Amino acid sequence: MSDAIFVTGLLVHAHHGVMEHEEKVGQRFVIDIELELDLATAAASDRLVDTVSYSALVEVATQAFTNRNFRLVEAAAGAIADAVLSAFPRAAAVKVTVHKPHAPVAAIFTDVGVSILRRRHG
C-alpha cells in the first residue's frame, strides 16, 4: 500500500529526558507522523468519515506524548505509535519520528532523534 496521511513538524513542549534539567524545565520536540492506510474510499467519497482527520491525529499523538514524562524518546515515540494504531483502526501502519533539537549532546548537530515503524498485527 502506498497511501498515507502525514503530519510533519508538530511542535510539542514536554519533559522527556535522562538529565534532571530536562525533566524539570522540559524542551521542545518536533514530531513527524505518517499513517499508512487505504485512501481509495475517501478519494471516491470526498467524506471525512472515510479517512483520518489531521486534527484527531494531532490530538491523539500530542496526548500520548505528553501524558507522562519519558526518559527516552524511543519510549515516547512508541507511546505515540501505540496510541495512533489503537485510535485509528483504518491505519495499517504508523511511522513516528521524534526530533530532539536541543538534546544535551556536547557537539554541534542539525538534528537527533528516533524513528519507529509499527504495523498492525493480524
The rounded mean pLDDT for the chain is 92
Give the Cβ contact number of residue 48 at 10 Å.
11
113 located within any domain: no
In a domain, 36, yes or no: yes
- Per-residue pLDDT tens over the stretch 15-74: 877 777 667 778 899 999 999 999 999 999 999 999 999 999 999 999 999 999 999 999
Containing structural domain, residue 9 = 4-105
Pick the catalytic residue from 74, 100, 108, 116.
100
- Whichever domain contains 66, its CATH number is 3.30.1130.10
Inside any domain, residue 56? yes
Three-state SS for 34-67 is EEECCCHHHHHHCCHHHCCCHHHHHHHHHHHHHC
Number of domains comprising the chain: 1
- Residue 2: the pLDDT is 86
DSSP secondary structure letter of residue 113: E
Model pTM score:
0.92
* pLDDT above 90: residue 94: yes
Residue 116 resides in a domain: no
Indicate if 100 belongs to the active site: yes
Contact 34, 4 (CB under 8 A): yes
Does a structural domain hold residue 122? no
Query: In the chain, pLDDT over 70 holds for what percent of residues?
Result: 96
**Cα separation, 69 vs 83, whole angstroms:** 16
Domain assignment of residue 54, yes or no:
yes
